[in-house]
Amino acid sequence: MLPSLRTRTGLPSLVEEYFNGDFLPRFFDAESYNSVPSVNIVEGKNEYRIDVAAPGLGKEDFRIQVDKNILTVSSEKEEKGEEKDEKVMRKEFSYYSFKRCFSLPDTVNSDKIKASHKDGILEIVIPKREEAKEKPAREIKIS
């Protein structure tokens, strides 16, 4: 999760000290739960490519499905952190999920979609059908 700037909420300092200043701002901070990774969509001569920027997620965290010309990329990840001290035990849970859907044109071969993951980028390659690929210009002779 990206760090964010937090301002003082005006709550009594006893409450802030008890929750270490983290709980209440995060509880009401909608942005920390609704982030969706950015994507780049590129059209090449032979395929389309979708790059999903999702640092901190591994390939096992993603799920990719195709149903009725809709490509769905989703992820659900749960992180558990635990701190132990002589007197205090504190647990923190964090859940991260997103879902992006893309309409595929009829000109793609959805049976041959491939995906790879490297350096926080999920790359999805969607090949075009043979009839949809760009063909070089040709001259037609007049008879």
Structural domain boundaries enclosing 54 = 13-129
Residues 128 and 139: their CA atoms lie apart, in Å, by 25
Instruction: Reply yes or no on whether the pLDDT at 114 is more than 80.
Output: yes
| 58 inside domain | yes
| 2 inside domain | no
| 1 inside domain | no
Residue 86 binned pLDDT confidence (cut-offs 50, 70, 90) = low
Give the DSSP letter of residue 104. P
* pLDDT above 70 as % of the chain: 66
Residues 109 and 132: their CA atoms lie apart, in Å, by 10
- The phi, psi pair for 112, rounded to 5°, reads -115, 25
Q: What average pLDDT score do residues 90-110 get?
A: 84
pLDDT in tens, 44-85: 989 999 999 988 888 899 999 999 999 999 998 877 666 666
| 134 inside domain | no
Q: How many domains does the chain have?
A: 1
What pTM was estimated for this model as a whole? 0.64
